[in-house]
Structure 1
Amino acid sequence: MVQENGKFIITSRFLQRIKILCKYCGIEKNIRWHDLRHSNATILLKNKVSMKII
């Protein structure tokens, strides 16, 4: 993953920011990369994106 300026996003920092955001929003679930992958696929399917593309 990259930032808008083209620099790479450090994975551990990204997940750390997600944890902080979840805590701020009152979400107590520990979110993993796998969870994000499935959430993304579900959103794409609901928006009628082809399974082949997903």
Structure 2
Amino acid sequence: MRKIKDVTQEEALNDTGIQFSRIEQGKRDVQLSTILKLCQHFEISLRDFFDGSFDVE
């Protein structure tokens, strides 16, 4: 989602407080509260997140 929205890791960190590098590298399990925050930030529903229904380029 971050790359689709053309957001850098630093911008995403500043906006959400979430460190994307560890998540994207698979070094950290993501909690539901983090997923909810990501959905809110990227303006997608939780359903779309799990369905993969957001636009992928």
TM-score range, shorter chain: 0.3 to 0.5
TM-score normalised per structure 1:
0.36
> Of the two, which has the highest radius of gyration?
1
TM-score normalised per structure 2:
0.35
